Structure 1
């Protein structure tokens, strides 16, 4: 895009300016006559550096005017370090802690950059601590750019019609062999890589029908226009020519570098002071540590280094809280924190946004805690129980005289086979509860002979409400068990509220989906008055709740529990003609053993009251048999006058 092109051009102007007029001035200076060759060489090497007062920049073309604009934080960091040095010099602490300086930055790349700046800060001009680093980066950039221009020229020569690409590789190898002797391993790998690149380009040309140059230029043209691409390639070619000419001029001086070292310069004596300066242990007084943010490891670093000065090169609210904790736990350390941040910038807005999110989180936490239900351990009992306490929970107190005797069998819970995909069965097993797998037709967990639990997560609860499956499951539990229970289990890492079902905003009012779930829960409890709802914050809390509910109740029998609901399944499959499977004998014959739908219909008929409907249900099989009975037979059940009202209603034509 054009905007990206503008960004690259403006960023380039802050590093260097390419001026062709400087090349003509350099050529005019090179045409000057000197007394001898040594004077010309000395002027060529140190002339520009002597005029500008700065050292030579290395392999940089004469057309380049270095700008090298520094990061404003570098100069501010130098001022902070000078202030810290003066503080250490003029103040003496009586504590045992040293004067360690800890500099924290955002990334490992920034930390390496800061290490180089601090190491070369004294060698740079005043107020420009990063000049040496910037010159090194500029030299490495032009070396890379010269290699890119040479690579493009070699590729263009190999792609000429009638030319053989292998001739370029062979000539390169011959030049290397003639100058350096046998071809080294690095050059062999380079030639093999170039051959692989050329073969891949030919494959692309055969497969896609386009040239490799067009394929290579496609990505570049997507970011800049054609003129930008041409100027980039021309600049790379000029840098390559300059590096080649500089390399040719330095070949004659290669013998100077290969001169033998004087034997007087070699000494086996080791100066202990110099050795200690380079390889000795660093004292905490002169220690400067540059480190990037690494989360929880920063707490350990603060406790080990015990720094007195902390410089936050990049803002991080989490590290600010860690420094607050470190200062409160070490009151003897008079820590001083320096905070470097750009004013009116994106960095400042990002930091303020993180502070705002932290404030909203605390407000949400306070609001949730004000409406939170009390935990089970609020009465003073410990959350984690030992083996003796778990053993006492198996003691039955229903013995005459109030004596306590331990039951012979351990507590057990019958779990449906499909529930083993969740983590709750493993939590129950870890709580010393025997888990018995079984295929259940009604419910998911059977705690006691009269207590059945249907477990639902938040997502499963919403799906069950939408499909109507939950109503059927609750109806079956109410028919076959005296104490039906609906367990709504939340995730451990989410809030204990219905807001977890959707990404609701932290507002005061509830969302539509949350109100919809609440309304459906109200309708469910009104339809099944005996249904109990348990809210559990995590599987750990569910295991404790199950253990509490099992106290003072008998243990369930797996063989009898497996028969619950099978008669309904056989009747639904059309096997009602065969001998029906009898319900378990341990189930009571009270109201919960009948279907709720026909029960509501029976209670709505005239002549049937709350006093006689249970007797009618125990004597009549279903509503159809009641309708087929005569008035005299109905009178024997509910009386003469109620039987006359019921018969008149049933026999009335519509």
Structure 2
């Protein structure tokens, strides 16, 4: 659709750089990469509205999450109301839940804007339920995720093969993702089938002029000093992190480790950076290295927790981390985490304890209860704001007097709300020097200390109980002459313990249940980590700090004057733009620095020149909080610099082979003519029948890229049908383990062997991870005699013994799998999709000519409340699905139980028209 065909509409793009971007989007296809916080979704919704107002356009949005769908839907409805455009359809969301094929086909025929999941869209394209040629355009969000094997890349390839006229726009605000690898921007452009990249960093001339040319935001920067204890803890944790990184480097000298440093350790993606190098050699990695990798994640969380959590909660969090890092009893050969043995760790423990109390818990303790320095500053800021509102009561603009406090996460928000509600309360034995009007966290901290001591006693009892059970299990095993009684293994014998709890319990040790008990302890620790503030005196606490008993109940509301509101909210990405527009705050307090939100405030202020905004910017001086903020700004600037340089040197070419399926996808296949004994060359496009559930993997895309016709069907037997005789069940390693655990793989192998001459099991590994299973177990005579719990290799052996015709294909990556499939199809007949769908169906079922078909059991599984455990209870009582759908609620509750019965009755009696 050309720019001339778009009717005039009212847009909400007041800034010059936003208007320039909009004009570019209307005129040509491009990949738009913007800096965070500049309002990417606003530009997307305005562009979509301009297309929606034209009417009769079928536009597809891919890559949007649920919250972005909500944003886009509300914005399109608002734009349609303001523009009074009669042809606007708004947004329609197509997800996996309940949209049938017929319903989707009807919606496509009526046109409109659809946000659709990639898996549904690619199946609709390939099955021709949606003709790509009638699509007006595609909008791709989160373009940084469109790698060569992504479903989105598959969709765009099919779209461009059959539609050369429709538009294609891609958007991203993560410039760092386009800087990894060789020529990353050019690679991404090929994946997106686009020629033009458009870059808008914060230092772009148009952006700078738009934000600086207006009245600037009034910013008050507050540099807060950490306490001596906080600084000691931070330095100790950083020393532990640095020592752990050094240990990693020593144990993995052959890897590229330039990015393994303390500066990058502050980055949120540091764990991914480390695992990117370790994944290919993870099977050869020592248990010590794996332990250090886990420890690094916990230490990095501690590093920021000391700045966010109060002193009591940090101690509680530290206790759980240390308990998880200690080896469980019975694992004598397992050492504790290396960082626990450092002097810096002892310094951290001592400093953390001194912030809360002095003395020993077993004796009398003296509360210290050090407060976070930011709390006092926050209280003074709010007092200053209230004074400003008192002396200047007359509003000069339409900004509200609400105070907006922005924090990093919900935990920080909860802590600040509690402090603001209780900062003028005084404990009974409060210090006389503390004035009534002086803000203090003494009341809150004393209550938290009481809760911590209660939690500590409970935690100690549970840990002691679990440790006692482990010791009893060890002693019982030794008494029965189990593996623990054999003592240390001879020096020449390979130990089977490889640092993993699952690997340590091999077939020769089936009676030792200490591993499961230790797992229970880990689960308990995880639960404590996620519920640090849940205590038995919660009702009393709520009464003490005056919390409304109806808090959290959506059916109750109370209206407040805006000048009485203090809104405490976590940073929430693009949703923060809505927050600013709805609250219209005159005063904003950034409790923690966030680069994207600062830019959102700049854009908000520049869009509303009649509103005044004052921002209080708080940060701990010399802290990792400040370093992370400055580091994120530097990394974004460096990323845009690299992208600008690559764009200037890029010679963009599109692989036209991928866009001409008639000329290049048709392969010359040698087929033997029956009875003639001659080889004839015929031009045939090879085809593969693929189960629709397999489109969550990258293999169908790679097969299509190698010139094969992909036919999506709902298969009962197998995942891929290559020929009338070859049926393949594909399993990733995790799927393989799960299928062995529930016995499903044996049923699948039995069905394939029953209906196909050449059944095959494909075990496919991740291309970025090691191509190996754990080394084969040492099958001693004792292990051979006890096969009650065989390992994965043993189960594979049993599978091949049970099904002699079953062949196992080992593939190191989806790329190799595509090559294997191509070799298997040579000189073979093409599969019939209708027969492939009919195989395995019960007598009387209709395959619907190869379209997606489901067995009654599959249909039952999607009903809410139905599980594999209760599935056969309903089939024993009900003859067919029609009878089940017409049953009364009481009858369903009698068969399935009250809760499940009600869910099923509501599902079958739901009014779809009203929905």
TM-score by length of 2: 0.25
Greater helix percent: which structure? 1
Higher RCO, Cα 8 Å, sep 6+: 2
